[in-house]
A and B are shown apart, each in its own frame.
Chain A
Amino acid sequence: MADVEGLPIRCRDAEVVRDGTRLVGAVDLTIERGTLTAVIGPNGAGKSTLLRLLHGLVAPAKGTVQWGTHDRRPARQAMVFQRAVLLRRSAAANVRYALHLAGIRGSEAESRIAETLADVGLRAIADRSARVLSGGEQQRLALARAWALRPEVMFLDEPTASLDPKATRAVEDIVRDIHARGTTVVMSTHNLAQAKRLATDVLFLAEGRQVEHTPAARFFTSPRTSEAAAFLEGERL
């Protein structure tokens, strides 16, 4: 990852507004290289919106987002959405499509496809149509498509929300592996146990506000705010 330049991501007093409603506000944070940040919070807290803001899919109505020294989102980012959006073509062709858009073609693309599909355990079904795969396989393929780009930062929007425990474990293993290989990960999740298992940092949101952004170990043992403590208590019940 020698040519990285989209990190750290700095958000300064950013606010996202849609149709006159503030979805997320008062976001002031820095995503450092090499972290795995779990974005947690109750329903409607603005987790997905925040990920889209950090990925550059939505522009802040107020404040700024900066990727490294850039004001525009750099190319080497990828996002996996809660519901995998796969093209109506084979698993391999889905990965190939992303690589072609990134300017990677020919034998380099083909070897990257084979390698990445093997990484997520889908090598054997590379030629199968993506839309007929199981939910877990589709999510792994979405991860593979994102990972094939070897992104500097990967955003994951509740990637295991609709998966069974086995598929969830498989996705977690892949996320852990991707992070271990040097990719910075920002992942929203409803699953506190998952956040504990994976995250180095926790970003806690409530009602569209950033409440805490702290190392995961500290957040789960001694949250700084009463809101976070109450949320953790509620989750334990």
Chain B
Amino acid sequence: MHTFSESLAVAAALLAHLDAGLLRIVELSLRVSLTATLLAAAIGLPLGATIAVGHFGGRRFLTVLLNSFMGLPPVVVGLVVYLLLSRAGPLGALGVLFTPTAMVVAQTILIVPIVAALSRQIVADAWDEYREQLTSLGASTPRAAVTLLWDTRFSLATVLLAGFGRAVAEVGAVIIVGGNIEGVTRVMTTTIALETSKGDLPLALALGIILICIVLLLNAAAALVRGWALVRHG
């Protein structure tokens, strides 16, 4: 308990003084996870909407696959990306292993199924409601998919926040493909793991506090956006 209170005090000091090392780690974490979330949105939203409204064989199989991949173990994703990007791997020539780019790739792979599966469900529910009206108005299937994505944008924003939350809190994949190199690929979660194993708890605790605050802020923002949207747009 003594260690905990002492660590907490040091962590508070680090936060209060906006320690440069701490900020660098936070900044890299946010940059990597936000980029991964944007990429996952670019891939997952159209994919989810296409599966929701499209007419093609294997839709049910794809749905099951996406739902299953929502629980992908991060270390397995990290291992696969490592094998792909390692010097002997098929993408080794890119030379991005142990860089933030590799971390972005791993996190994107990890959260694309989350974004795609949840957006598929949201768009499919909306499609049930809108299908006849959009068909009556003459909307093509791609046009209907775009319309539904826009009309469910507030629910989809929550999906993206969930994806970001998963990415920023993940440690297994990024530690494998990033290598936890100080000043290069060290992010909040990998630093927490490292510092805890070294017994340097204050930095780990400060980062833990920031991580929890980010998650809390995200949830609060999601709740506010949804509340505002409900009042403004119904």
CA distance A57 to B153 in the complex (A): 27
Partner of A88, one of B132, B137, B151: B151
Partner of B136, one of A79, A97, A130: A79
Please report whether the interface of chain B is mostly helix, strand, loop or mixed according to DSSP. Answer: helix
Residues of B close to A230: CB separation below 8 A: none
Q: Which residue of A lies closest to B234 (CB)?
A: A131
Contact present for B136 and A129 (CB under 8 Å): no
Contact present for A85 and B138 (CB under 8 Å): no
Residues of A close to B234: CB separation below 8 A: 88, 129-132
Partner of A87, one of B135, B143, B151, B232: B151
The interface of chain B, by Cβ under 8 A from chain A, is 129-130, 132-133, 135-139, 143, 147, 150-153, 231-234
B133, chain A: closest CB distance, angstroms: 4
Contact present for B132 and A57 (CB under 8 Å): yes
Q: Which residue of A lies closest to B153 (CB)?
A: A88
Residues of B close to A81: CB separation below 8 A: 132-133
Contact present for B135 and A57 (CB under 8 Å): yes
The interface of chain A, by Cβ under 8 A from chain B, is 52, 55, 57, 75, 77-79, 81, 85, 87-89, 97-98, 101-102, 129-132, 145
Contact present for B233 and A132 (CB under 8 Å): yes
Partner of A85, one of B133, B143, B152, B232: B133
Q: Which residue of B lies closest to A90 (CB)?
A: B233
22 residue pairs from A and B, CB less than 8 Å apart: A52-B132, A55-B136, A57-B135, A57-B136, A75-B138, A78-B137, A79-B133, A81-B133, A85-B132, A87-B151, A88-B150, A88-B151, A88-B234, A89-B233, A97-B137, A101-B137, A101-B138, A101-B139, A101-B143, A130-B234, A132-B234, A145-B137
CA distance A75 to B140 in the complex (A): 13
Q: Which residue of B lies closest to A78 (CB)?
A: B136
B86, chain A: closest CB distance, angstroms: 47
* Residue from the set A102, A132, A145 with the largest chain B CB neighbour count within 10 Å: A132
CA distance A130 to B138 in the complex (A): 20
Q: Which residue of A lies closest to B147 (CB)?
A: A87
Contact present for A88 and B233 (CB under 8 Å): yes
Contact present for A129 and B132 (CB under 8 Å): no
CA distance A89 to B152 in the complex (A): 11
Contact present for B232 and A97 (CB under 8 Å): no
A57-B135, A79-B133 given; name 16 further pairs at CB < 8 Å: A55-B136, A77-B136, A81-B132, A85-B129, A85-B133, A87-B147, A88-B152, A88-B233, A88-B234, A89-B233, A129-B232, A129-B233, A130-B234, A131-B233, A132-B231, A132-B234
